[in-house]
Structure 1
Amino acid sequence: MVKVYMDGLLFFEGGRELRIVAYDVSRTSAVVHSDGLGLLPIHFYITFDGFITVGKSRLEWRYRDDVGVVFERWLDIPQCKMFDNGQGAIHDR
């Protein structure tokens, strides 16, 4: 059996970001692997699509560099395009 995986980014308060690989991803949970995981808070965020959507996540279980994640809710991050009008002011397009 071949496992289907997704690349993503796990991040949390303090500015730390970790590249992850997620297996068994559903709307409510996933199994996540990251080499050299180190300390991990109970609550953190995960994105699989470059911050278009972000999952507010909770640590369910951990074994070495693998963690079980529960997605508490999904946040839609508005993608606003900005530009400089030449006068030092930045406006929405």
Structure 2
Amino acid sequence: MALFRACLGKTACVEDDDHCRTCGRQLDEVYATRELIEKLAHFAIAHDYVNYDEFVAYVARKANAKIRYAVDQANGQATGPAAREQAHG
């Protein structure tokens, strides 16, 4: 897995043919990330959430859990309550 480098903002992005020279990420990755953020923002606005910070925290928690599960499965590691119980004795 690659190490994620956070974007420093559109004004700091220095693009060449295929990547940002500031953060080093591929441009398709940068653009896809921006699109995801736009979609999340529009979703929260469309639903008129006043507690959008809670919505964003929820999405972050759920995405983190989904990624962790997928990585564990790809690495052949057991997940879930039974695996946690076994790991903690």
Greater strand content: 1
Greater helix content: 2
Please say whether Structure 1 and Structure 2 have the same fold, judged by a TM-score greater than 0.5: no
TM bucket, shorter chain: under 0.3
TM-score (norm 1): 0.25
